[in-house]
Structure 1
Amino acid sequence: MPSNISVNSFSKAKDLNIASLPVTITDWVGGRETNDYYKISFTNRSSFNVVIDKLSADADLQLLNSQGDVVVGSYNRNISTETINRKLDAGTYYIRVYQVGRTTAAYRLQMSLNEAPQSLQFSTDKITYSSGETVKLVNTNVFDRNGVKDLTRVDLWLKKEGNAWQNISDVTSFLINQSDNRQGTFSYDLQGLGAGKYQLWGIAYDKSGNGSNDVFSSFDVVGTQDWFDENILDGGIRQTARARFADKVIDRNDMIAILRSSKDNNAVDSTELTDLQTLLKNSSYLQIPEHVKVLTGKVLGSQVANQKYQGKQLGNLSIGSSDVQLENLISKWFLGGDRPTTTYKYQYASGSLFQNGIAYQDIKQGDLDNCYFLSSLAATAFRTPNTIKNMFIDNGDGTFTVRFWQNGQADYVTVDRYLPTSITGYFVYASKGSHYQNANNELWVALAEKAYAQLNESGWIYQDNTNSYNGIAEGYASDALMQITGLKSASNSLNLQNILSAFNSGQLISFATKSNVPSFMVAGHAYTLVGYNSSSQTFQLFNPWGVDNYTSKPGILQLKWSDMQAYLSYWEGTTNRVVST
C-alpha cells in the first residue's frame, strides 16, 4: 500500500491551495492512521463540493470549521459514496476522512468549489436628476473568478425616501472583457422616476446562488411632483396611468392598458404589483367606476375563480407571475374569454342586447333545467325592466359587463357575444331556436344566463361552483331573485291573502309546481306571476319555456285559486317592492 499523503492530525492537516481546485486525491485510512485531514481557506463565500468514492472499505466524511467543530458530515454505510455540498462563508475549513470499522479503506477524494462573484461596482452618471430624466448606471464592473458566464444576474432594489425597498428589474446581460473573461460590464437605465431622494442597491449572483458584495448608490430627482410621482414607483405604470388619467377618469379601457403596462420583462415584479394595488386602493381619487374597480380587484386579488382559465390551471396574480398569466386574468374578467364549459359549439351571436324594450315575454328556456333563474329574470323584467337594463354595461367591443348582487354588494362578470349553438347554428340554451346569424336576435336573456354560469365559479350563488352551464341547473328562485335585484327574498307557503298583498305591493313572485300536475303544466317547474284579475279571481302565470314554445305547455296560464292550491307547492319572492337599480 502506498504511503499516506495526508496526515492524521487536525493541527498538521494537508494545506490545499484554493487555486489548485478542482483537485483529485487518492489515499487511504487505516491502521494507526485512522484519519486524514485537509485544510482549505476561502476568501469569498463559495459553494464547496467534496466527494469520496471508489472506497475499498467503509469510510466517512466530515467538514469542520476552524475550531474543529463539525459543520456537516456524510455517513453512508459500507462503500457507498460520501458527498458534502455546502455554501460556506469566507474562512478556513477542514475535511476529515476517517476509517469506520477495522478494515483499511482506500478512497478517492474530489474537491471543487464555485466562489461567489468577488466584486461588483456601479454608480449613477449624476447625483441629481430632473423629474422624468433617465438615470444611467456607469462604471459598471463585475468580477467572478469562475468567469462572467457563471453570473446569472445583478439583483437591483430601489428605495425612495419614506418608502420601502422595491425589487426592480435585474441585470441579466453582461459584456465579457475580451482580455479577461473573469471581468464584465453591463448597461442599465431607470426611467420615469418622480421627484424624491433615492437609494439603489445591487448584488451580483452566480449560478450557485452565491452573492457578491453589496453596492449602494444614492441620487436625487427634483421637479414638480404629481400624485403619480408620489405614489407610483414603476416608470411604465406611472407613465401609462398618468396619460390615461388625463380626462380625470380611469375607465375600463384605461385599466386594461395600465394592467398590460406591468408586463415588461415577461413577469410582474413586486414593485408593479404594489403599484397596481395602490391604484385600486385610490379608486375614489382616480374616479374608477364601480364595475372596473370590482373586476380589477378580481385580477389582482385572491379569487377561487382564478384557479382555472379555459379549463386549465391559472392561479392568483402574485410576484413573479408571467405576462401570460396576467393576460389570461385580464381576459377572464374584462374580456369574457373564459366561457362556461358546454358540449356545444360557441358562435358569435348577431343581434342587439335589447329589441323593442324589455319584457318577460323575451324569455324562452332552452335545454337547461334553470327555470328558477329564468323565472326570476321574467319577474324582474315584468316589474322593473330598468333593473334588467342596468344589469348590463355594453363595453363597445363585443363584450358586456353584467351585474349581480351578493349580500347587497354589486358583483360583476364580463361575457362576450359567443353563445352555444347546435350543429345547425341555433341557440340551445336561453333563446332556444334563434339562429346565431339572425340580426333580429335579442340577446339579454342568453347573456344574463351565460354570465350567471360564469359567476357560479366565484362560489357564492349556491350552485356547484363551476364555470359551466350544467353548474346552474336546478336551484331556487328566492336565491336568483336576490342575486338579480339585490333585494332580500324568501320562500313561502301558499296563502291567498299573503300572495295578493305581495303582488299588489309590487313584489316579484315565482311559483314552484308539484310533481303531479295536469298535462298543460310542467311538473317541478317555476312559473312567474305576471297578473291577477280581481273580478274573475284568476291568476296569470308565465312559463319560462316561452310564450311560443311549440309544446303542449302554454306560455301563459290562467288559474283559479283552487287550481293554485292543487298544482303549486310554494311561492318565492322578494320581501319588499323593487326600486329600479
Structure 2
Amino acid sequence: MTAFRKSALALVVAAGVCALFVSADKLPANAAIRSAPAPLAAAATSTPATADQQHFTAANLWSSAGPSPEDIRQKNIGDCYFDSTLAAVAFAQPERIVRAISFDPDIDVFTVRLYDYAEGRDYIPGTHGDGNPWPAGTPVTPTTIAVTQHDIQEDIHAAGASSVQTGTPGYIWPAVMEAAYAKLLDGEYARYTDVKKFMNPVELGLKIAEASNEKNPLWAGGDVDQGMASVTGETGSYVPAALSSYDAIASAIAERRPVTMGTRPSTQTFQDRLVFNHQYTVLGIAKNANGEVTLTVRNPWGTNEGVPGVPKPSDASVAVDLRQALADKVIGSFDIGPLPR
C-alpha cells in the first residue's frame, strides 16, 4: 500500500530539488551506481533464523555482510511504504540499520531506535502525502523501543517483512524493525489474506477501512514520508516522475541516499512490469547514448511472481523503461532520503 504524490504537488515541491543534489554531469560515468557503503563490523556469528524458531539472538539479525534488501519479503501486512524504505536504507546505508538495533542477551530483548514523527502517526489520506506537503519543521523525536521475543514471533506469524515467514531460513532484522514500528504506533498485528490480492483500489480501500483502528496500525494507511522519517529521522525530498529527474536520482544513488518510487492508484493492477498503488526501492538508474533511461527497482514482496512482463519473476528486482512507464502514467513520484551519517 502506498499513498502517492499527485503530479501538481510533485512539480511544485521538486522545483528546487535538483539544486539539493550534485548535477549528474559533474559525477563520474558510473554515477548511477552507488558508492560503496562504509565497512560494517563483521558479526561474531551469523545464523539464519527459521519460522519455527522460538528464541532469537543478535546472530540471527543479519548476515556477516550486514543488512540487505534481500532480507525483506513483504507478504500479509500492507506496509510497502515502510518495507520499501527499510530496503532502501539497507541498500544505501546498511550501517544505519546496524546502529538502530541492539540486543541484550541478559534479558533476551532487542532495542530499536526509531523516530516518532507526529504527523506520520496522524496520517490521513488527502491531508498529508496525497496532494499536500508535510508540514515543514515538524519535530521528529528519537524513540527507543523494546522488541521482545514474542513481538518477533508475532511479526513472523503475521507474515510480516522478514523472509523468515516464507518458510525458508532468513534474517530477522526486518521483523525486529517492523515490530518496533507497530509498537511505536501503539498497535498489534492482525492477520489478513496475502496483500497481493488487495491491489485493486476498492478492495484495498475496504481492507484499510476494516483495519483502520488499534488492531493493526500498519494497515491503517501510510506514506513513504512516514516510513522515511520513522527510520532515518528525516522526511524525504520529492522528485517528480519525469525524465528530467534523472540527475537528481542518479546523484542521490551516487551519494548513497535511500531512494524509493511510488506507483499511482489505478483500476488496473499491473503495467510496464510494475504493480499499481505500490512502493518500490530504487536500486539504480542508467541512461544510454540515445537518452533512454532504465530504472532498476526492487519489489518489497521479494519476488515479482504474477507481474506480467518480468523476465525473471522469481527476482525481486526488475528493469523498467522510464519513458514508457511515464507515458503510461504508472509512476507517481520518487522520494529521496538523507545523506549517510
**Do both share a fold (TM > 0.5)?**
yes
- Mapping 1:170-249, distance limit 5 Å: none
Offset at residue 471 of structure 1 (A):
4.1
Pick from 41, 46, 61 the counterpart of residue 353 of structure 1.
Answer: 61
Identity, in percent, stands at 22
For 1:441, the aligned partner's letter is G
- Runs of 5+ unmatched residues, structure 1: 1-344, 459-463
Aligned to 1:97: none
Aligned: 1:543 with 2:299: yes
Over 3 Å counting, the alpha-carbon distance change for 1:435 and 1:398 in structure 2 is: farther
* Residues 538 and 374 of structure 1, relative CA distance in 2, 3 Å threshold: same
Alpha-carbon offset, residue 400 of structure 1: 0.9
Corresponding position of 1:508: 258
Cα deviation for residue 490 of structure 1 reads 3.6
The answer to which of 535-544 and 505-514 deviates more is 505-514
8 Å contact from structure 1 (residues 426, 435) kept in 2: no
Match of residue 373 from structure 1: 82
Shift of 1:499: 4.5
| One-letter amino acid of the counterpart of residue 99, structure 2 | N
Aligned counterpart, 1:497:
244
After superposition, give the CA deviation of every residue in 1:446-486 in whole Å (9 maximum; x if it has no partner): 1111110000029xxxxx99664454453111221122111
Q: Secondary structure at the match of 2:115?
A: strand
Q: Distance in 1 between matches of 2:323 and 2:170?
A: 39
Contact 1:491 1:570 in 2 (8 A): no
Work out which of the residue numbers 359, 371, 386 in structure 1 matches 2:95. 386
C-alpha offsets along residues 130-182 of structure 1, whole Å, 9 cap, x if unaligned? Answer: xxxxxxxxxxxxxxxxxxxxxxxxxxxxxxxxxxxxxxxxxxxxxxxxxxxxx
Q: State the secondary structure of the residue aligned to 2:247.
A: helix
Query: For each residue in 1:275-331, what CA deviation from the matched residue of structure 2 results, as whole angstroms up to 9, or x when unmatched?
Result: xxxxxxxxxxxxxxxxxxxxxxxxxxxxxxxxxxxxxxxxxxxxxxxxxxxxxxxxx
Instruction: Tell me the secondary structure at the aligned position of residue 275 of structure 2.
Output: coil
Residues 457 and 466 in structure 1, CA contact (< 8 A), matched pair in contact too? no
* Cα gap change, 1:492 to 1:537, in 2 (>3 Å): closer
Shift of 1:568: 2.9
| Contact in 2 for aligned 1:417/1:447 (Cα 8 Å) | no
Structure 2 equivalent of residue 452 of structure 1: 181
Q: Give 3-state SS (helix, strand or coil) of 1:348's partner.
A: coil
Matched, 1:404 2:119: no
Q: In structure 2, how many angstroms separate the alpha carbons of the residues matched to 1:433 and 1:352?
A: 11
Q: TM-score, normalised by structure 1?
A: 0.35
1:183-224 Cα offsets, whole Å, 9 max, x none, are: xxxxxxxxxxxxxxxxxxxxxxxxxxxxxxxxxxxxxxxxxx
Partner of 2:335: 573
| 1:474 aligned partner | 221
Partners of 2:235 and 2:272 lie apart in 1 by: 34
- CA deviation after TM superposition for structure 1 residue 404, in Å: 1.1
SS where residue 403 of structure 1 aligns? strand
How far apart, CA to CA, are the structure 2 residues paired with 1:346 and 1:465?
Answer: 30
Structure 2 partner of 1:564:
325
Q: What SS class does the counterpart of residue 510 from structure 1 fall into?
A: strand
Instruction: Check 1:371–1:354 CA distance in 2 against 1; reply closer, same or farther (3 A cut).
Output: same
Count of residue pairs the alignment pairs up: 226
Deviations 1:59-111 (A, max 9, x none): xxxxxxxxxxxxxxxxxxxxxxxxxxxxxxxxxxxxxxxxxxxxxxxxxxxxx
Larger helix percent? 2
Of 529, 532, 535, the residue aligned with 2:282 is: 529
Residue 428 of structure 1: aligned partner: 159
CA distance in 2, matches of 1:420, 1:469: 16
Letter matched to residue 428 of structure 1: A
**Structure 2 CA distance for partners of 1:491 and 1:504, relative to 1, 3 Å:** closer
Q: Name whichever structure is richer in strand by fraction.
A: 1
Matches within 5 A, 1:64-463: 348-350=54-56, 352-356=60-64, 357-396=66-105, 397-406=107-116, 407-418=139-150, 419-420=152-153, 428-431=159-162, 434=165, 440-457=169-186
- Aligned-partner residue type, residue 454 of structure 1: K
Task: Name the CA shift for 1:563/1:469 in 2 (closer, same or farther; >3 Å).
Answer: farther
**Can you list the C-alpha shifts for 1:14-40, whole angstroms capped at 9, x where unaligned?**
xxxxxxxxxxxxxxxxxxxxxxxxxxx
Kept in 2, the 8 Å contact 1:453–1:467? The answer is no
Amino acid at match of 1:534: K
Q: Does the Cα contact within 8 Å between 2:275 and 2:307 map onto a contact in 1?
A: no
Per the TM alignment, residue 492 of structure 1 is displaced from its structure 2 partner at its CA by: 4.1
Amino acid at match of 2:146: T
Q: CA deviation at 1:569?
A: 3.6
Distance 1:409 1:433, change over 3 A: closer
For residues 472 and 389 of structure 1, what CA distance do their matches in structure 2 show?
26
Unaligned residue ranges in structure 2 (runs of 5+): 1-50, 117-138, 188-210
Letter of the 1:354 counterpart: W
2:239–2:336 contact (8 Å) kept in structure 1: no
- RMSD of aligned C-alpha atoms? 3.3
SS state of the match for residue 412, structure 1? strand
Cα deviation, residue 578, structure 1: 1.7
- Helix, strand or coil for the counterpart of 2:102? strand
SS in 1 for 2:179: helix
Once residues 465 and 443 of structure 1 are traced to their aligned partners in structure 2, the CA distance between those partners, rounded to angstroms, is 26
Q: Which residue of 1 aligns with 2:8?
A: none
Q: Specify the SS of the correspondent of 1:501.
A: helix
- Deviation of 1:368 after TM superposition, in Å, equals 1.0
DSSP 3-state at the match of 1:457: coil
Q: Residue type of the partner of 1:445?
A: P
1:532-569 deviation digits (Å, cap 9, x = unpaired): 1233621101000004x654474212111223312534
TM-score by length of 2: 0.57
Structure 2 CA distance for aligned equivalents of residues 402 and 467 of structure 1: 21
